[in-house]
Amino acid sequence: MSWQGVIHQYRDYLPFDADVQIVTLNEGNTPLVAAPRLAELIAPGANLRLFLKYEGLNPTGSFKDRGMTAAITQAVAEGSKTVICASTGNTAASAAAYAARAGLRCLVLVPEGKIALGKLAACLAYGADVISIDGSFDEGLDMVRAIVERQPVTLVNSINPWRLEGQKTGSFEIIDQLGGQAPDWHCLPVGNAGNISAYWMGYKQYGKGLPRVLGGQATGSAPIVTGKVVEKPETLATAIRIGNPARWRQALEALDESDGIITAVTDEKILESWHLLAKREGVFVEPASATGVAALKQQIERGAIDPTNKTAVCVLTGHGLKDPGTAVDQATPPISMPADIDALENYLTS
Ligand code: AN7
């Protein structure tokens, strides 16, 4: 039988009732792509086995679909008619898609002007009520937390425990794809800290070994690194422009229990790794997604991680087409020439 999504695949590890009707877009089963050229660049001669978990290939283009199939499945099972979330964009697009599929109303609160174009386009296409707030993600999250106390709507941010249940299937897949064992290092971007918390839950539950966890935050939005709420988070990686992560405590637990590391990387270094992923490995991601790679490269350079004969998995959380604006801004513009063979030959040989 072909792949039918993460709930079907890992049903025995998920606490759904036996008769639940699964809402799925056949998410998951994303490739674990070997990245030997990038590995040699960030750890020359070290025999680092580097893999990219390409979560941007999920149905809505981000890792959020794993948790959203679970959250929407459970919302329907509980009779919910309306779901709501605050989002930097990817949660919103995912919620909008799964809600559309389930016939639910979906409200998404996004920070005005700070959501990448591909995410906004998707939310609108899926027919969500897109509410652009004059405030940050964190303020939006406060609003949705408050509204669910007053109105019968289901919150589908990663505060919702079902989101983590679905999301943890990423760990199961990585272990299965590595032939039954966990990597030495599991590297990923950290924003609201749902993903890091879920991956750690998954590794512990699967019982096939534990990695050390390396989380990367953008320097301008690094509350977990500094231990302080960031009132005005800033970063070009808008997906992780979050100053007060909802799953902060669980992230600290994952870091502590795994003997992990959380580190801040500058926007410059995020972009450097974003370029390397595309130009060295042919893997196009949105900027935030390169933060795990940037963190790994930085910690190797600092001597905090010894890459020798290690296996590292970097989770690439969102597809490059999510943020075409940044991609075009960062690129060399196209070459203009007349529609003429001589001009082309001249260019090719110059
Ligand atoms: C591409 O969509 O928070 O630490 O509202 O979109 O689990 O929050 C997105 C987060 C990393 C951080 N990479 O994951 C949202 C949202 C991408 C993301 C993260 C996000 P968490």
- Segments of the chain assigned to CATH 3.40.50.1100: 6-61+163-329, 64-160
The residue to which tokens 């992230």 are assigned: 251
**What's the token pair of residue 337?**
């020439």
Across 3-25, average pLDDT: 98
Residue 119 CA, closest ligand 1 atom number: 2
β-strand partners of 264: 217
Atom of ligand 1 nearest to the CA of 86: 5
Token readout for 245 is 């992560």
CA of 341 to the centre of ligand 1 (A): 46
> Residue of the nearest CA to atom 12 in ligand 1?
191
Place of tokens 């100053």: 243
Q: What proportions of the chain, in percent to the nearest 5, are helix, strand and coil?
A: 45, 15, 35
- By the 8 A CB rule, do 15 and 34 touch? no
Here the tokens at position 304 are 């905090």
Per residue in 141-154, pLDDT (tens digit) is 999 999 999 999 99
Predicted pLDDT at 63: 98
pLDDT tens, 192-240?
Answer: 999 999 999 999 999 999 999 999 999 999 999 999 999 999 999 999 9
| CA-to-CA separations, 11 to 17, 167, 200, in angstroms, rounded | 10, 13, 18
pLDDT in tens, 61-105: 999 999 999 999 999 999 999 999 999 999 999 999 999 999 999
CA 190–ligand 1 middle distance (angstroms): 7
Over residues 21-57, the pLDDT tens digits come to: 999 999 999 999 999 999 999 999 999 999 999 999 9
Give 95-143 as a DSSP string: HHHHHHHHT-EEEEEEETT-S-HHHHHHHHHTT-EEEEESS-HHHHHHH
For the chain, percent of residues with pLDDT exceeding 90: 99
pLDDT of 1 > 80? The answer is: no
CATH of 6-61+163-329, one of 3.30.470.10, 3.40.50.1100, 3.90.199.10, 3.30.70.60: 3.40.50.1100
Helix (H, G, I), strand (E, B) or coil at 84: strand
CA-62 nearest atom, ligand 1: 1
Considering the chain, what is the average pLDDT of its residues? Answer: 98
| Tokens (6 digits) for 198 | 């879920």
User: Between 194-206 and 248-257, two packed helices, what is the crossing angle to 10 degrees?
Assistant: 40
3-class secondary structure, 317: coil
DSSP 2-36: ----HHHHTGGGS---TT------------EEE-H
Tell me how far apart the alpha carbons of residues 194 and 252 are, in angstroms, rounded to a whole number. Answer: 12
* Total-model pTM: 0.97
Going along the chain, which residue ranges are E strands?
32-34, 49-54, 82-86, 105-111, 129-133, 154-155, 185-189, 212-218, 261-265, 311-316
Measured CA to CA, the distance from residue 99 to residue 83 in angstroms comes to: 7
Q: What residues contact 300, with CB distance under 8 A and at least 6 apart?
A: 42, 43, 307
Question: What fold is seen in the domain 64-160?
Answer: Rossmann fold (3.40.50)
What local confidence, expressed as pLDDT, does residue 134 receive?
97
pLDDT of residue 29: 98
What pLDDT sits at residue 33?
98
- Of 90, 163, 247, the residue with max ligand 1 atoms within 8 A of its CB, to mutate for a pocket test, comes to 90
Pocket of ligand 1 (CB under 6 A): 62, 87-91, 158, 189-196, 239-240, 286, 288-289, 317-318
Mutate to test the pocket of ligand 1, among 60, 240, 242 (most ligand atoms within 8 A of CB): 240
